[in-house]
Every structure is written in C-alpha cells, then in structure tokens.
Amino acid sequence: MIGKLGEKRSLVESRGPSRARPLPQLRHAHILAGLAATGAVQVSAIAEELGVSDMTIRRDLIDLENAGRLARIHGGAVDAERNRPVAIDRDEPHFEARMQRQRAAKERIAAAAARIAGGCRTMALDVGTTTLLLATRLRGQSQVRIFTNSVRIASELGSDGPEVYLPGGRMRRDEMSIGGSAAVAQFQALWFDIAFIGVSGITPGGLYDYSFDDADMKRVYLRRSGVKVVLCDASKFERMSLVHIAALRDFDILVTDAAPPPAIAAALAEAAVRVEIAADAATSS
C-alpha cells in the first residue's frame, strides 16, 4: 500500500484537495513537445494547458534554457536550434540606404496596404520607408485625414491630397521624424480608424525599432487605432534592434512579401494576427 501511494505521488505534485500539478519533468516534456510541433510556445498558453501559474512556466523555461533546450523570448520561448541565431541590428542605417533595400518587396507591401486602407477616413502613418511608399499611393484621396510624425510623408502628400496633421516636437534629422513628450501627448488624445506601423525587425517575441522616440509614437498608434497594421518585408524576420515596441498580440494584420518562418508563423497564429502576403504583380494576375 505504501509503495503504491508513493508511486502515485511521484507522478504529480499536490495542489490542494481537488487538483494536481504535473511534476517539472512532465511540464518540461510538454513544453519541448510544443516546440517540436510549432517552433515556439507562449507562457500563458502552456500555463493554461497544464493548469499551473505563469511563474511556474517561466521557471521551467529558465531551466530548459540553461540546459540548452530552448531560447527564451518575451512571453515565451522558441526552439533553440531552429531559431539560432537571431540577428541583432545595433546601428540604424541611413534612410536612403534603407529605401533601396528590398525596394520591390516594399512596393508590393505598400500596394497591398493601400487596398487595406480603402474606406478609412482617419489614418495614422508611421515613419519608415515602406510607409513612405504607401503615402505615395494615397495622393488624391482628399476625403482622408492622415496623421503622421514623418515630415517626409507630409511633404510627399503635398497640398492637393489628403489633409495632413503633424504633431509638434523635435525632429530626428536623418529619419525626419517628430518625437518627444509633446508629440506623444498630442496624438495620444486622438483616435484613428487604422494605423500603419513600420518596424526594423520581428521575432516571436514581438516588434523592434532603432529609436526610443519613434517607438513611443508607434505605441501611441497601436493603442489609439481601431485596426493596427504592421508593414514588414521578409528580410526583417528574426531580426532585433535596440527597442522592443510591442508584443505580437498588440496588432491585427501583418503585411509582408513572403511567408514568415515557422516560429514566427506559429507565434502570429497564437496571437490571432492575420498575415497578408503581398503578391508580385506578375503572379497575381
């Protein structure tokens, strides 16, 4: 009798009269099975599946990372082998150099984004190369009001297109973006039908950018918009830079030019983000 009771207790840890909690080795096996299936797991999802706290799963992830079995990210973990290495961009390239990178892909993304924007009346346009290309496709839409912290976008739209609103603040020279507390406060008081956000990188852990000031305004757009759209060409998958902007669950649609790698695709699906692949004009007819 004692032997059988000891064997039963070896499988679970007591968690009160009505519930039992899997032992660490069983939780670890469950986490690793999830990674093998999808390439990424989220703390909250695993905790709910196993009926334990988020803190318990975070400790499990630390143990597994120390053992070299996975790599922790914001809110979860990814398969250590599938996702090594993640590239880290420490310096921001000049705007014109970025504009030439993946230009054809960015043009396709901008065209797809313009179709998504159809029917919206108040629109937030973030700084960046792809959002600037989107702005060129919005000329002549006089019924639209566009709010942007990009001086380039405001200049591109000129005087014959949509109404354009810029916040007050300090302009970052190369990016020609307006930021700072005054700019954030002005746009924080508004509400937009849709926002288009540019990023420097995306991983299962979320969105990244180079600048603290620009990241602050991106978060405003994400908080204050009915529909949140991220524009990101495929060269930015599995890339990180200085500032973590937001988690994947904080936006609604990703417009890109190629299918994301498995770990990002799984994390996007978990976050209920819709992925729009901008097709090449030659293949979409």
**CB burial readout 239-258, b (16+ within 10 A) else e:** bbbbbbbbbbbbbbbbbbbe
The pLDDT, as a whole number, for residue 77 is 82
- What topology does CATH give the domain 95-284? Rossmann fold (3.40.50)
Pair of tokens at residue 205? 């852990």
Residue 122 host element (H or E) = strand 122-125
The pLDDT, as a whole number, for residue 121 is 94
The pLDDT, as a whole number, for residue 155 is 93
The pLDDT, as a whole number, for residue 22 is 81
CA 223 to chain CA mean position, Å: 14
Percent helix / strand / coil, the chain, rounded to 5: 40, 25, 30
Partners of residue 88 on adjacent β-strands: 240
What is the amino acid identity at position 248? L
Q: With cut-offs at 50, 70 and 90, classify the pLDDT of residue 5.
A: very low
* Per-residue pLDDT at 104 exceeds 60: yes
Place of tokens 């991220």: 230
pLDDT, greater one: 75 or 240 = 240
Domain 2-79 has CATH 3.40.50.720: no
Mean pLDDT of the chain: 86
Domains of the chain: which residue ranges? 2-79, 95-284
Tens digits of residue pLDDT in 13-37: 444 444 566 888 999 999 999 888 7
Q: Whole-structure pTM over 0.75, yes or no?
A: no
- Give percent of the chain above pLDDT 90: 59
pLDDT, greater one: 120 or 140 = 120
The pLDDT, as a whole number, for residue 1 is 42
* Per-residue pLDDT at 70 exceeds 90: no
Tens digits of residue pLDDT in 216-250: 999 999 999 999 999 999 999 998 887 889 999 99
Q: Is the separation of the CB atoms in 60 and 33 below 8 Å?
A: no
Tens digits of residue pLDDT in 33-64: 988 877 778 898 899 999 999 999 999 999 99
Tens digits of residue pLDDT in 136-170: 999 888 889 999 999 999 999 987 789 999 999 99
pLDDT, greater one: 259 or 82 = 259
The pLDDT, as a whole number, for residue 138 is 93
Q: Is the separation of the CB atoms in 99 and 265 below 8 Å?
A: no
Length of the chain: 285
* Per-residue pLDDT at 82 exceeds 80: no
The pLDDT, as a whole number, for residue 83 is 53
